Amino acid sequence: MAADTGKLTAVAIKAAKPGKLADGGGLFLLTKDNGAKLWRMKYRHAGKERLLSFGAYPEVSLAEARRRRDAARAAIRDGGDPAADKRAKRAADKLEAADSFKAVAAEWLGKQRHVLAPVTATKAEWLLSLVPSLDPLPLAQVTPPAILSALRKIEGQGHHETARRVKQRIGQVFRYAVAHGRADRDPTADLRGALTPVKSKPHAAITDPAKMGDLLRALEGYAGQPVTAAALKLGPLVFVRPGELRRMEWAELDLDAAEWRIPAAKMKMREAHIVPLASQAVAILRDLQPLTGRSRYVFPSLRTADRPMSENTVNAALRRLGFDGDTMTGHGFRAMASTRLNELGWKPDVIERQLAHAERNKVRAVYNRAQYMAERRTMMQAWADYVDSLRAGGTVIPIKRKAS
């Protein structure tokens, strides 16, 4: 029996009742009332009794518990305190976990959520999830080779643009860490030129007036879901970004004033934006109001009114109408309007402001917003009339703004 020899055996451990069974050298097995068996070691340091935990049996075997006991006794002989050392290591591990790439990335993303559009924040979170090998590493161990190895896996799947975007997000996380004194530098700076070059491809768009007429007539004849049909008709008239269109809310609209006020939180450039609505756009929205007016979103999802329509809905509808991804996209309505309005003589500043492109000079941006609103209203109505004329297939009347 263990009590006779002072050494535990597998049989004694299996038959142990609640209480303590000693193995010698301070090691003992503590059996709880619930049957749990825990390894403990009692020792003295600086005249005080200390207790060390080695884990639970059978996860930690008798042989392993003895090895840990012997290592602890050796440390004690050298003047160490195993319990204190264990607490220090636990604290260091906790600190290291707090400064792991995953933890700092989550912290950075949490700070960004109030300035990023929800769809952008979700995309950033997804991009950072594509490098799981970096997650557990302390920032000091996230070296250029480690990052490049993670990015190469993405490139190996043919996703070169995605790899580039992931690298950008990693760089943003590190710049945040540097600013908060948790990293010395951004290691992505050393990866310049390391990834496969990506040739940017503009969004497909139809800009030839005759082909625009064909497109507009096809949109008018769309026989699918009424909500999708309304989005297809409204898209060319407001030429906002697809995410802004599908997340349009009734509360943002003043149909009597013919205005759509998009909050800054929804805009790519994080500035509130006003879209003057031509009479044709107002008519589309009034026709849609009996269908979705009780919902939050003007274009709700077909599955639930609590979410807007899918980001793929408009593009899928265009495909059904025979326009492939190399011909026309939902984002292409912006290029279509921008190209033709410039060709028709409208002021570039007015067009750019309506497209909600960023103005680098902030003082000038405030001035332009005020100065151009009247011209933007005129331009949006003239554009809607021009779109009508193209759809009708009649003689195209120039809509160039008359000189003041």
| 91: confidence class by pLDDT, cuts 50, 70, 90 | low
Element (H, E) at 51: strand 48-57
327: left (phi over 0), alpha (psi -120 to 50) or beta: alpha
Determine the pLDDT at residue 95: 57
Respond yes or no: is residue 246 known to be catalytic. no
Q: Which domains does the chain have, with CATH numbers?
A: 2-97 (3.30.160.390), 101-191 (1.10.150.130), 209-392 (1.10.443.10)
Among 45, 153, 268, 369, which one carries the catalytic annotation? 268
User: pLDDT grade, residue 196 (50/70/90)?
Assistant: confident
What average pLDDT does the segment 112-120 reach? Answer: 77
Residue 402: predicted pLDDT:
43
Lowest mean per-residue pLDDT among 149-158, 362-371, 381-390:
362-371
- Measuring CA to CA, how many Å separate 45 from each of 48, 51, 76, 243? 5, 10, 8, 65
More confident residue, 17 or 398: 17
The pLDDT of residue 24 is above 60: yes
What confidence score (pLDDT) does residue 267 get? 82
Residue 367, pLDDT score: 55
pLDDT at 359: 59
Using CB atoms within 10 Å of the CB of residue 12, give its burial: 0 to 12 exposed, 13 to 18 middle, 19+ buried. Answer: middle
* 215 confidence band (pLDDT: 50, 70, 90): very high
Identified catalytic residue from 246, 247, 273, 331: 331
What is the rounded (10 degree) CA torsion for 195, 200, 204, 209? -170
Query: Span 190-204, mean pLDDT?
Result: 80
pLDDT, mean over the chain:
87
Instruction: With beta carbons less than 8 A apart as the criterion, state whether 104 and 111 touch.
Output: no
Active site residue 357: yes
Q: Please state whether 271 falls in left (phi above 0), alpha (psi between -120 and 50) or beta.
A: beta
- Average confidence (pLDDT) over 331-339: 92
Query: Which listed residue (69, 167, 233, 241) is catalytic?
Result: 241
Catalytic residue from among 165, 247, 266, 334: 334
Residue 4 has pLDDT above 50, yes or no: no
pLDDT band at 387 (very low <50, low <70, confident <90, very high): very high
The residue from 44, 111, 286, 357 that is catalytic is 357
CB within 8 Å of 32: residues ≥ 6 apart? 18, 38
Residues 239-279 pLDDT 10s: 999 999 999 999 999 999 999 999 988 887 778 899 999 99
Stated as kind and residue range, the H or E segment containing 61 is none
Active site residue 222: no
**Confidence at residue 366, expressed as pLDDT on a 0 to 100 scale:** 53
Is 89 a known active-site residue? Answer: no
Closest to 124 in 3D by CA, of 103, 139, 105: 105
Has 241 been annotated as catalytic? yes
268 catalytic residue (yes or no): yes
Q: What is the pLDDT of residues 292-329, one digit of tens each?
A: 999 999 999 988 888 999 988 999 999 999 999 889 99
Q: Is the pLDDT of residue 201 over 80?
A: no
